[in-house]
Amino acid sequence: MTRGQDISHGPRPSTARVFLSGLRAHGIARGPRASSARLASSAPRGRDIARSTARRSSSTLRGREIARGPHASTAPFPSSSPRGQASVELVALLPLVAVIALAVVTVLASHVAEEQAGEAAEAGALAVLQGGMEPKEAAEQSLSEEARKRATITVADGRVHVRVRPRIVLPIPGLAERLAGEARATARP
């Protein structure tokens, strides 16, 4: 191993080269070797000095190059990794995903209410045909405790009409009434 080499990274550039490359990146030094003659010929005069000084100081303050070094990015919030952007996108999409999930659960609840109404109407019609139990009581017993609270059962002339409102989580007024499951069964001997 020769002098000035690092085992893992190969030859290291000198501190002066790193410093000059940083100056060139920010437009302070020009070319590989900035001679005083070239700098003097392109130096600003009079009002241009105030403008270039104001421009340089505002860009230095805006990019915060003094605090972060000559190789720092001038972006106000530099992205450190693609994982950070993915995290931000995920957080931005979470409300949309939550609303879609609630809508799917609501649609499933309306289908469950319709199935419960159909089973209750059929149980009521069977009670009319068999004659052993009241049709309304038979329909109520076929429903769960929760569904009984949300159900409306009507029996008239051998016809059983059952309406069950779904249990929904979306706080939209009138949505449960619109998505209610209805079923009718007629008992004919």
Per-residue model confidence as pLDDT tens for the chain (189 residues)? 555 555 555 566 666 666 666 666 666 655 555 444 444 455 555 555 555 555 554 444 454 444 555 555 555 555 566 778 888 888 889 999 999 999 999 999 999 999 999 999 999 999 999 988 899 999 999 999 999 999 999 999 889 999 999 998 888 899 999 999 999 999 887
Amino acid at 96: L
Question: What's the rounded Cα separation, in Å, for the pair 178 and 96?
Answer: 23
Within 8 A by CB and 6+ apart from 139, the residues are 120, 121, 123, 124, 127, 153, 155, 160, 162
Please, what's the b/e burial string for 63-86 (b: 16 or more CB within 10 A of its CB; e: otherwise)? Answer: bebeeeebeeeeeeeeeeeeeeee
This prediction's pTM: 0.53
